[in-house]
Structure formats: structure tokens, C-alpha cells
A and B are shown apart, each in its own frame.
Chain A
Amino acid sequence: MITEIDNSWKRDSDGLGVWEHRGKVAIAGFGHSPVDRRWDEVSLDTTLGAYAILACQKAMDDAGLKPEDIDGIVCCPTTIAGNSGGTASNWAPRPYFDPPFDSEQGITRVNADWLIQQLGLHNVKFAPASAPTISEMVGLASQAVGDGLCTNCLMIYPTGNLTGRYRRGGPNASDMAPGESQWTFPWGNHGGNDFINIFPHQEYCRKYGGEHDDVAPFVLNQHRNGLMTPWGFNYQNDIPQLTKDDYLTSRYILRPLRLWDCDRPVNAAGAYLFTTSERAQDMKQKPVYVLNHSEHNFPFKTTQPTLDEIEMWTDKTAERMYEGSGLTASEVDIFNPYDGYSIMSQFFLEAFQWHGVNRGDAFAFYDGDITVEGPHPFCSSGGNLGNGRTRTAMYTDSIEQLRGTAGARQVTVKAETALCAFTTPSSGGWLMLGNSPD
């Protein structure tokens, strides 16, 4: 039961006005699997598929729904280890297992069709085949419910990891840079955001002052928040709190990017239950309303973006989110931008001007009190850096903060609205949430 869709659902241009479904869609449940460093290649109850099933069951339980209530499913069918992940991407040519683990589905990938079968979701009528990453999936699920394509939509984001060097297979493992890769991967790097953002980050330091290691307080605080997140990797694996000395003595991955500026690939799954605001009133949890979603994919002018481009892209994104939600910067209580590399977050913080932070102010802001107990609880989720590369922490924390169930991470400031994202400066998406539909 796969639904073919185009990209017309996306809110990816300027001047769209307030989202037509603002406050009419809600998140009524979420669920997380355990977060392992990688699959042990033996235990079928800890495969990516098993974890996706578990996360879905938890999300349905959280909302008080049963499989027969689900009529929409949005699942990312690709492997987060990427096409060039080599041995970290595919189980084959190793032999598969008994059904339902008799293909890559359930081991390194999970798609909607596989989940429909495993969970017995017989009433699903909306199951798009193309659901790229969580940034777009939350927007797609919101739009689908708002448009009436489904009423109770499960959105699942599996993030797999097998033994082997993550994203260092295929061409990335080569000592050669043939063809056009001589211009894009001249040093054999895979071209991820570590590489993409290094140049603008250095430009940032030159333009506004400061140095790379000024991001240390942010990274340490992400780890601190992660240790207050019971479902996250650091908490579950008793990882010691990162210290400033640990950060400053860590090795460079791509100078000046340090080991702790990068997130830790994990094997995990997270799921969310989107529904109509009307239905959410009768479910188990206090509804968290979707006030806007926005997607973007800005074209590069050259192989590497400049600081000017990144600032323009993030400014545009902020403008679209504020316009579509009808909120202003001063009305956003919880701010959970993406931190998959620590050096991205400053661009988002300054573009959205959260707590009055303007261009060039981020390092000074990091040096202040950004703890969850303080006046500026930036990234209260702990993000990827504090929880592992699940890309879900930003969303779950925002929901928990608005519900008032964030436990040790519960902020002491007002928590009625939240902005959250998985996005790079150039591509991804944002979600605005609120305690009230109005």
C-alpha cells in the first residue's frame, strides 16, 4: 500500500503566509527504541527493524491508539549510513535470516510496506514511498493530516549502524579522486557537513572574532543535556560528562573540527504520532499542536558555500518559519536547532534571533548560562551531540518541554512554543510547535 506523491506538499518558498492548517494538526505520541552504538549482528530483537517496530508501538501506546487506528505511515526508507557507507550500509553479501529479516529490510533499512506488514496496520491509506529525512517527514506527516489524506499518521525515523567505518565505504574509501570528485573530494573526504561548513565557520571566526574552541561550552552543555535524556545513548551507556579539558585535548577530525564536534552514529529508531487537533483531544496525552512546517533546499553557487550564503539561507528559513507560524522571535520559548556538527548551530541561533542573539553573538551567548535551569536553555534536547545521531532528540524534547514532562531537562522558563529541526544550513526543514492551537 504505497502512495505516490510529488513535492507539491512542501512549504519551500517565500511569502506563503500563515500555514493553512496552523493548529489543526497535533502530535499525540512518540516512542523511542533503545539507542545502541551499532547492531551486534546477532540479536534479531535489536535490529533496526525490531527497533522501528518497538518505537511505533511505544508511540501508539503513548497516544492510546491501536494498530487498527493508524491510517497513515511515513517512514524513511533509506539507510542513514548513506550509499557510500560500504560495510556500514548493507548487510549483504552476508546471509540473511528467517523472515521478516530475510532482506535488507528490517536490518539496514525499514520502509512503510515492511512496517505495515509487521505491525498489522491494515487500515493504512497513506504511505508515501518517498520520505527523505526526518526534517521533511515531520512536514509531510503534518501536511498529510492537515490535507485530510490520513487522520492518525505514524512517522518513523530509523537510524541504523553496523560494524565498519560509517560512510567510509565505496568511493570514500578510495585513495583516488577521479573525474569531478577531484574538485569536490580532493582529500578523499565524503563531503559531509564537516567539510561543507568548515570554510564558512572559519570565515565566521574571522568576521566576528573568536576561535573555533569557543563552541566548547555549547558542546559540553549538549552532553550535559544528553545525560538528562533517559532514552539517549549517553544516558543509557553511562558516558561520563564531557569536560572542557576533554574537548580541548580531543583530536581533530578535520581541523579545526574536533572529535566532539561530531555526533556519534547509532542504531536506533524514533516514532511520532500525528493526528488532527480534534482527535487529539480524546487521546492519552496533552496535544502538542503543529503551528507551521517549512522545507528548504538552497542551491550551491560553488562546491563550497560561503558565510554570506549560509547567512542568507538561514535568514530566509527563519523568515518563512516566523511568517508561517505567525510567531515572532520573542515568542519562541524552546529552541532546538540541529547540531549534527556543532559548528552549524550558531548559524541557526543567529538567524532566528532566539533570545535576541544576532549575527556574531553566538560565542558570547554560549559563554553565558545556556543550561536548562537557566534563562537561556538553548538546545534543551542535548541534540545529536548529547544523545547520538538519532536526529530525533530535537523533536522529542520540544514535545516533552511543551507537555511539561521533560524531567531533569524541564526548563524553568516559559514553555508554550517550540522550534525544532533537523537541517543543515542549505537543506532540511523546521517545525514550529505550540501548547495552544491559536
Chain B
Amino acid sequence: MENKRIIISYDIDGTVVPGDPPGRISIAMINESKKLGYIIGSASDRTITDQTRIWERNDIQMDFIVLKHNLSTINEQFSPLAGFHIGDTNMDEYYAKDAGFEFIDINGDFDIFWAKLLSGALM
């Protein structure tokens, strides 16, 4: 299952439902990506404590929780085949590229990306 070598990184505010503002990605969707075997986590400007609280409240076991500007550090931890960071601002894009990830704009081509994620066609 190649999904085990693919990182899906979620920004929080403006991207996921528990964010402020709430984004499009529901907790169920995040759970689905976890079940499909992807390496999932969050990369936000919120403190680690704050991010951790959000996932604990929503009963999600993240594989990583990092500050957005430290997204590149998870490459060393997971040696992924590919990484995707889903976010809503040009800062998300900047740090996604900095980490060598593909940036997925939640307000852009997200639906196409998500369909590929569900069908295992990201690679």
C-alpha cells in the first residue's frame, strides 16, 4: 500500500472544519484519509499545544503535528515518496514548496485532489 509513504498535511484555520474560520475538510474526511493509510498531520501557525488540543477534542490520532514553517522537518521522520499540504493562503503555498510538497489550495482544485486521494491515485 503506497499510501503509507504519502504525507497529507492539513492546515487548520480556513481549511478544516474546527478551524477559525471553519474550512471545508470535515473530521470524517480526515479520518477517512487516515483509514486509507496516508501519513496525516497538521501544519499550522497555531502553537503545538493548540493544534494538539484540536485533534484530541475530535478524537483524531495525527501522525505528526508541526508548526507550518517547520513542515520540511517531517521529511526526515517519514522519508515520504510524496507530500501534499492542503491550505488556504500563500503562506501555505510557500511552506509547502519549501518542504518539497505539492500545495493543494482548498479554494482551488481541492475536489480533484480529494477524488484522487480517495481512489489511491495520488502517485
Contact = CB atoms under 8 A, between A and B. Distances in A.
Interface of A: 37-38, 40, 163, 165, 237, 239-240, 242-243, 246, 249-251, 259
Contacts, number: 29
A37 B47 contact: no
Contacts of B69: 251
A240 B53 contact: yes
Contacts of B14: 163
B94 to A, nearest CB: 10
29 contacts: A37-B20, A37-B21, A38-B20, A38-B21, A40-B21, A163-B14, A163-B21, A165-B89, A237-B20, A239-B50, A240-B47, A240-B49, A240-B50, A240-B53, A242-B47, A243-B47, A243-B49, A246-B47, A246-B48, A246-B49, A249-B67, A249-B70, A250-B45, A250-B67, A251-B45, A251-B67, A251-B68, A251-B69, A259-B45
Nearest to B70: A249
Nearest to B95: A251
B116 to A, nearest CB: 28
B67 to A, nearest CB: 6
Given A239-B50, A243-B47, A251-B68, 14 more contacts: A37-B20, A37-B21, A38-B20, A40-B21, A163-B14, A163-B21, A242-B47, A243-B49, A246-B48, A246-B49, A249-B70, A250-B67, A251-B45, A259-B45
A165 B91 CA distance: 11
Interface in B16-49: 20-21, 45, 47-49
- Chain B interface size band reads 10 to 19
Nearest to B52: A240
A246 B50 CA distance: 10
Contacts of B45: 250-251, 259
Contacts of A38: 20-21
A240 B50 CA distance: 6
Contacts of A246: 47-49
A244 to B, nearest CB: 12
A71 to B, nearest CB: 40
A11 B49 CA distance: 46
B69 to A, nearest CB: 4
A236 to B, nearest CB: 12
B103 to A, nearest CB: 16
B57 to A, nearest CB: 10
A223 to B, nearest CB: 10
**Residue among A237, A240, A242 with most chain B CB within 10 A:** A240
A37 B14 CA distance: 12
Contacts of B47: 240, 242-243, 246
Contacts of A37: 20-21
A251 B69 CA distance: 6
Contacts of A165: 89
Nearest to A242: B47
Q: Top 6 nearest A-B pairs by Cβ distance? A: A251-B69, A246-B47, A240-B49, A37-B20, A240-B50, A163-B21
Contacts of B48: 246
Contacts of A259: 45
Interface string B99-123: 0000000000000000000000000
**Residue among B47, B68, B69, B70 with most chain A CB within 10 A:** B47
